[in-house]
Amino acid sequence: MTPLIAEFIGTALLVLLGNGVVANVILNKTKGQNGGLIVIAFGWAMAVFVAVFCVASYSGAHLNPAVTVALAVAGKFAWASVPGYVAAQMAGGMAGAFLVWLMYRHHFETTECADTKLAVFCTGPAIRSLPGNLASEIIATFVLVFAVLHMVSPKVSLGAIDALPVGLLVLGIGVSLGGTTGYAMSPARDLAPRLMHALLPISGKRDSDWGYAWVPVVGSLTGGVLAALLHSKLLMA
C-alpha pair distances (Å), 27 with each of 105, 113, 126: 10, 9, 18
Q: Among candidates 222, 141, 228, 193, which has minimal Cα distance to 18?
A: 193
Q: How many whole angstroms separate alpha carbon 81 and alpha carbon 172?
A: 30
Q: What is the pTM of this model?
A: 0.95
C-alpha pair distances (Å), 237 with each of 143, 146, 149, 173, 232: 20, 16, 16, 28, 9
For residues 108 and 203, the answer to whether their CB atoms sit within 8 Å is yes
pLDDT in tens, 167-193: 999 999 999 999 999 999 999 999 999
Q: Please count the CA atoms within 13 angstroms of the CA of 234 that sit on its side-chain side.
A: 9
Mean pLDDT of 138-167: 77
CATH number, residue 185: 1.20.1080.10
For residues 218 and 123, the answer to whether their CB atoms sit within 8 Å is no
Q: How many domains does the chain divide into?
A: 1
Give the domain range for residue 176. 3-236
pLDDT value of residue 153: 53
The count of other CB atoms within 10 Å of the CB of residue 38 is 13
Q: Is the pLDDT at 154 greater than 50, yes or no?
A: no
